[in-house]
């Protein structure tokens, strides 16, 4: 994997760059659509290629439980299983496991959890999580870490930092030992890309700057290919989040990609980019779309509102996506209210198009040293309720 910084803003720490994995080049900053269960809901892989920069995120926890790693491995890996010849990042599933609360027990060895599907118990160690992702054929692999709730005590967070660091060391050792060749595939392009595998590290530390600094120092002392900031998308106070994000990002190496996990509203992306963040993922744009929320050039639009019942204009008058060029607010409102799958598809297509375009415009504004001017425009739009 090669990461290059092409240009840094003269106004702030915002930067444009590229991640090259095999023959695939990903421009940064980049937004990664989330395909939790090996699909971005309602869309085909071919459609997602057009609505992304060639990288998506899937979830280790969910794929481990269903359909099971054996099924995906027999198919030749996740790329082949879902017919995706671009980049796949898989998160460790740690966030999902720890979200089970009372169904989870953690010690220094790993985490025991109960499946939300059938109630059976499972045990994730750092090594097992890496082995699963290698079998999936993930291109960017995330290690098991221990996220903490925003109100966690200093003592609890400190233990989490130590555990995350120890798990990181075990993870990279396992990665180096087990990153083995897989069965050859008929689809040569997919076979080639799935054998390009890299491991990122995850920084924790909650809302304590000294613990964030310790975590950065410990995680960045390990030879990871990139670094992620975890624990900042769990419902914490916005201004406090921004303060910790800016502080943490400033400590990370400049020559490797920086990934902010689970954050994906326009206003959050704008701030994070100003801090030098390169990669984003979030389920919110697609999940909110299925509930009728459009992100548009004039702000958020809840298409379920009655005022759109006889509104035959496009969802976004300034958008060139398939949805906006062909369908009206009134029709999509009808579909969403009727729980028709086409409605979910149309909102998802538009929202992914919007975020792809947003990231492209962000990169252009950084290149032209007018990022603050562009940021002000976006923030003004999304501070208005539609």
The pLDDT tens digits for 13-40 are: 999 999 999 999 999 999 999 999 999 9
Residues 162 and 272 in one domain: yes
Q: Is residue 138 assigned to a domain?
A: yes
pLDDT tens-digit profile of 263-292? 999 999 999 999 999 999 999 999 999 999
Across-strand partners of 200?
A: 226
Catalytic residues, by residue number, are 91, 281
Q: pLDDT under 70 in the chain at which residues?
A: 180-189, 191, 234-236, 384-386
Q: Is residue 345 assigned to a domain?
A: yes
Tell me the three-class secondary structure of 154-179, residue by residue.
HHHHHHHHHHHHHHHHHHHHHHHHHC
Structural domain count of the chain:
2
Instruction: Give residue 191's pLDDT.
Output: 65
Q: How many helices (H) and strands (E) does the chain have?
A: 16, 16
Q: Is residue 270 assigned to a domain?
A: yes
Residues 350 and 229 in one domain: no
What's the pTM?
Answer: 0.96
Residues 174 and 235 in one domain: yes
- For 126, 152, 284, 325, 327, the CA distances from 352, given in Å and listed in that order, are 33, 34, 11, 15, 16
Range of the structural domain that residue 208 is part of? 30-282
Across-strand partners of 30?
A: 279
Q: Is residue 64 assigned to a domain?
A: yes
- Name the domain boundary from 251, 282, 313: 282
Residues 98 and 184 in one domain: yes
The dihedral sign for the CA sequence 362, 367, 370, 372:
positive
Residues 174 and 76 in one domain: yes
Residues 116 and 159 in one domain: yes
Residues 237 and 366 in one domain: no
Q: Is residue 13 assigned to a domain?
A: no
Q: Is residue 231 assigned to a domain?
A: yes
Instruction: Give residue 385's pLDDT.
Output: 41
- Name the domain boundary from 240, 259, 282: 282
- Name the domain boundary from 247, 282, 317: 282
CATH number for 65 = 3.20.20.105
Residues 35 and 72 in one domain: yes
How many Å apart are CA 264 and CA 293, to the nearest integer? 14
Residues 244 and 131 in one domain: yes
Within a 10 A sphere around the Cβ of 383, how many other Cβ atoms?
Answer: 9
How many Å apart are CA 48 and CA 285, to the nearest integer? 14
In DSSP notation, 204-218 reads --TT-HHHHHHHHHH
Residues 145 and 71 in one domain: yes
Instruction: Give residue 386's pLDDT.
Output: 37
Residues 68 and 207 in one domain: yes
Q: Is residue 15 assigned to a domain?
A: no
Residues 191 and 321 in one domain: no
Instruction: Give residue 123's pLDDT.
Output: 96
Cis previous bond, 29, omega within 30: yes
Q: Is residue 5 assigned to a domain?
A: no
């Amino acid at each position: 994997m090669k990461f290059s910084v092409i240009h840094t803003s003269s106004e702030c720490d915002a930067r444009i760059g590229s991640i090259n994995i095999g023959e695939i080049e990903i421009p940064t900053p980049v937004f990664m659509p989330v395909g939790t269960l090996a699909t971005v809901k309602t869309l085909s892989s071919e459609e997602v290629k057009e609505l992304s920069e060639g990288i998506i995120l899937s979830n280790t926890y969910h794929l481990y439980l269903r359909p099971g790693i054996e099924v995906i491995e027999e198919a030749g890996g996740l790329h082949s299983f879902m017919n995706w010849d671009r980049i796949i990042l898989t998160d460790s599933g740690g966030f999902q496991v720890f979200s089970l609360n009372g169904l989870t027990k953690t010690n220094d060895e790993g985490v025991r959890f109960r499946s939300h599907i059938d109630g059976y118990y499972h045990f994730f160690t750092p090594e097992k999580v890496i082995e699963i992702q290698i079998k999936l054929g993930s291109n960017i692999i995330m290690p098991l870490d221990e996220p903490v709730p925003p109100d966690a005590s200093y003592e609890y967070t400190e233990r989490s930092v130590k555990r995350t660091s120890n798990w990181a060391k075990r993870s990279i050792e396992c990665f180096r030992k087990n990153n083995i060749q897989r069965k050859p595939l008929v689809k040569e392009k997919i076979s080639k890309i799935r054998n390009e595998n890299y491991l990122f590290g995850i920084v924790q530390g909650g809302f304590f700057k000294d613990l964030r600094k310790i975590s950065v120092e410990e995680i960045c002392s390990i030879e990871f290919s990139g670094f992620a900031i975890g624990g900042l998308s769990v419902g914490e106070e916005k201004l406090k989040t921004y303060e910790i994000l800016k502080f943490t990002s400033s400590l990370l190496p400049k020559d490797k990609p920086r990934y902010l996990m689970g954050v994906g509203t326009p206003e959050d992306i704008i701030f994070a980019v100003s801090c030098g963040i390169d990669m984003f993922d979030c389920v919110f744009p697609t999940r909110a779309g299925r509930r009728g929320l459009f992100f548009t050039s004039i702000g958020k639009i809840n298409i379920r509102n009655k005022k759109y019942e006889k509104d035959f204009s496009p969802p976004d008058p300034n958008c060139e996506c398939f949805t906006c060029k062909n369908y009206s607010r009134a029709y999509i409102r009808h579909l969403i209210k009727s729980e028709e799958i086409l409605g979910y598809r149309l909102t998802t297509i538009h929202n992914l198009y919007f975020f792809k375009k947003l990231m492209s415009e962000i990169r252009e504004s950084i290149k032209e040293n007018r990022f603050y001017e562009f940021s002000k425009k976006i923030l003004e739009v999304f501070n208005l309720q539609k």
